[in-house]
Amino acid sequence: MKILISVDIEGVAGVYHSQQVRAGNPEYERARRLMTDEANAAIAGAFDAGADEVLVNDSHGDFRNLLPDVLDARAQVVQGKPRYLSMASGCELGVAGMCMVGYHSRAGGRGILAHTINSFAFAGIEFNGQPMSEASLYGALAGEHGVPVLMGSGDDVFIEENRALFPHAAFVQTKRATGQNSGVSLSPKKACEAIRAGVAEGIGRRAQARPLQLTTPLDVLLRTQTPALADLFCQWPEFERVDATALRFGARTVEAAVRMLNCCSAMSAMLR
Ligand SMILES: [Zn+2]
The pTM score is: 0.97
Q: Decide if 6 contacts 83 (C-beta within 8 A).
A: no
What average pLDDT does the segment 63-84 reach? 97
Task: Report all structural domains of the chain as residue ranges with CATH numbers, in order of start.
Answer: 2-117+133-204 (3.40.50.10780), 218-271 (no CATH)
Distance in Å, CA 265 to ligand 1 centroid: 13
133 CB neighbour count, 10 Å cutoff? 25
pLDDT of residue 200: 98
pLDDT of residue 232: 98
Residue partners of 69: CB distance under 8 A and separation at least 6: none
Q: How far apart are CA 234 and CA 232, in angstroms?
A: 5
Q: How far apart are CA 9 and CA 3, in angstroms?
A: 19
Distance in Å, CA 61 to ligand 1 centroid: 6
- Residue 28 three-state SS: helix
Distance in Å, CA 7 to ligand 1 centroid: 8
Distance in Å, CA 116 to ligand 1 centroid: 9
Q: How far apart are CA 18 and CA 129, in angstroms?
A: 29
What average pLDDT does the segment 195-222 reach? 98
pLDDT digits (tens, 9 = 90+) for 13-51: 999 999 999 999 999 999 999 999 999 999 999 999 999
pLDDT of residue 11: 98
pLDDT of residue 264: 98
Residue partners of 221: CB distance under 8 A and separation at least 6: 124, 125, 126, 129, 242, 246, 247, 248
Using alpha carbons, select from 142, 140, 115, 119 the residue that is nearest to residue 130: 140
Distance in Å, CA 15 to ligand 1 centroid: 11
Binned at pLDDT 50, 70 and 90, residue 167 comes out as: very high
What average pLDDT does the segment 173-180 reach? 97
Distance in Å, CA 9 to ligand 1 centroid: 5
pLDDT of residue 94: 97
Ligand 1 is an ion; its neighbours by CB within 5 Å are: 8, 10, 60
Distance in Å, CA 2 to ligand 1 centroid: 24
